[in-house]
Each structure stands twice: as structure tokens, then as C-alpha cells.
């Protein structure tokens, strides 16, 4: 996966995190729970995609620690 695509995925996570600000002001608890679940799933999927891309290039491991 090109670095550009990885950056796009990370920017997507940043936008989702910004959505958390809206969630904190949402008065409806059911809506808040549903949106938090959705944001969590999206962030997790995006992060897993980046991790997979880095590891598939051989970039994972002790040298990244």
C-alpha cells in the first residue's frame, strides 16, 4: 500500500476522532452509543489496514519499537 494511501487512512481516523467531539454533546444516549460503536469499528478497521500494509512491506518488528 503506497504511503499516500496510508496517510489517507490515518486522516480518516483523525476525522473520526473529531466526530467524537460531536458525540460528547449528543443528548440522546442511544444515538451516542450507536455512533461511538460505529466510530470505534471504523477506527479499528483503518488502523488494522495500516498495520497490515506496514507488516506486508516488512516494516513491522523490533526496528519500529
Rg (CA), the chain: 15
Q: What pLDDT score was predicted for residue 65?
A: 43
22 SS3 class? helix
d(CA 15, CA 22): 11
d(CA 17, CA 19): 5
32 SS3 class? helix
Q: What pLDDT score was predicted for residue 5?
A: 79
Which of 17, 19, 18, 6 has its CA nearest to residue 46? 6
Q: What pLDDT score was predicted for residue 52?
A: 85
Residues 3-12: pLDDT tens digits?
A: 787 788 778 8
Residues 28-63: pLDDT tens digits?
A: 999 999 989 998 898 888 888 878 878 887 755 545
Q: What pLDDT score was predicted for residue 37?
A: 92
Unique residue bearing C-alpha cell 480518516? 12
**Domain definitions of the chain by residue range:** 3-56
Amino acid at each position: 500500500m503506497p504511503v499516500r494511501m496510508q496517510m489517507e487512512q490515518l486522516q480518516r481516523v483523525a476525522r473520526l476522532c473529531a466526530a467524537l467531539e460531536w458525540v460528547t454533546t449528543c443528548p440522546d444516549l442511544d444515538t451516542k452509543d450507536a455512533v461511538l460503536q460505529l466510530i470505534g469499528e471504523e477506527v479499528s478497521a483503518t488502523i488494522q489496514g495500516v498495520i497490515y500494509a506496514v507488516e506486508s512491506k516488512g516494516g513491522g518488528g523490533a526496528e519500529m519499537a
